[in-house]
């Protein structure tokens, strides 16, 4: 009798320790199988069962950014079914509002556009184009909300001219990062005294700018030196600059 009581006490103590450690022990409930790994889920995308493929697709979508690189690698191997699902998942993430999600997904799509597999390259290119249009629409809306003007004029197949003007109504400060989402800019006008050398350093990143207008800004030769990176620049207009004595 004493031995049975000791065994029972030991078992109860074991259950308490397991519960404290986060484990679950139940005589009536069987142990749960561990969740499938990402690689196993990707393999299931090529399964015979539609329900199984759909279940794997939804499970992978829940993994988010963790599944991006494995999916890119799997798609590159060329299986048609996996390509279809992988590109669909990557495109969905590329349209996410969180930069930590959409940037790696968009990068993966861009890399897959260079694939030697024609179907994979085609699908990835279309998905990446939709991602860029989505980001551009968001950026255009934000810039206009902040008081800027964006005009995009189509000029034929795959050709367009993007004009951006930020005047005294601009409420976005010196930060021009939202303009990067518009894609290549051909014409940029900055006409506000809030713009300084810090602004010009950002302008130097817009390599496709052909026409640049700077009025009423506070610029020095330090800021203008950043414009040397604009290899496509054909015309620059300066006027009413608040600070000119240090232009050199």
pLDDT tens, 117-162?
999 999 999 999 999 999 999 999 999 999 999 998 876 555 678 9
Output the pTM of the full model: 0.73
Polymer length of the chain = 248
| pLDDT tens figures, 208-227 | 999 999 998 888 889 899 99
- Mean residue pLDDT across the chain: 84
Report whether 195 contacts 217 (CB < 8 A).
yes
Residue with tokens 């299986």: 79
DSSP 141: H
**155 or 101, higher pLDDT:** 101
Indicate if the pLDDT at residue 32 is higher than 70.
no
Q: What is the mean pLDDT of residues 228-241?
A: 87
SS3 218: strand
- Asked whether the predicted pLDDT for residue 20 surpasses 90, the reply is no
């Amino acid at each position: 009798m004493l031995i049975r009581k000791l065994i029972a006490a030991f078992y109860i103590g074991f259950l308490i320790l397991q519960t404290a450690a986060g484990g679950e022990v139940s005589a009536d409930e069987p142990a749960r199988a561990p969740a499938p790994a990402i690689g196993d889920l990707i393999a299931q995308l090529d399964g015979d069962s539609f329900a199984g493929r759909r279940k794997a697709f939804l499970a992978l979508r829940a993994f988010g950014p963790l599944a991006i690189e494995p999916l890119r690698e799997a798609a590159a191997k060329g299986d048609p079914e996996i390509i279809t699902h992988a590109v669909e998942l990557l495109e969905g993430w590329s349209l996410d509002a969180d930069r930590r999600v959409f940037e790696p997904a968009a990068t993966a799509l861009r890399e897959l556009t260079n694939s030697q597999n024609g179907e994979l390259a085609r699908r990835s290119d279309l998905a990446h184009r939709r991602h860029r249009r989505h980001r551009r629409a968001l950026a255009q809306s934000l810039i206009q909300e902040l008081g800027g003007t964006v005009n995009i004029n189509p000029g034929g197949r795959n050709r367009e001219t993007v004009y951006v003007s930020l005047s005294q109504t601009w409420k976005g400060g010196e930060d021009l990062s939202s303009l990067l989402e518009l894609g290549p800019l051909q014409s940029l006008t900055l006409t506000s005294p809030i713009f300084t050398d810090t602004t010009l350093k950002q302008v130097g990143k817009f390599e496709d700018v052909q026409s640049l207008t700077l009025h009423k800004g506070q610029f020095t030769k330090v800021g203008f030196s950043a414009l040397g990176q604009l290899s496509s620049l054909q015309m620059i207009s300066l006027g009413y600059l608040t600070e000119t004595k240090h232009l050199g």
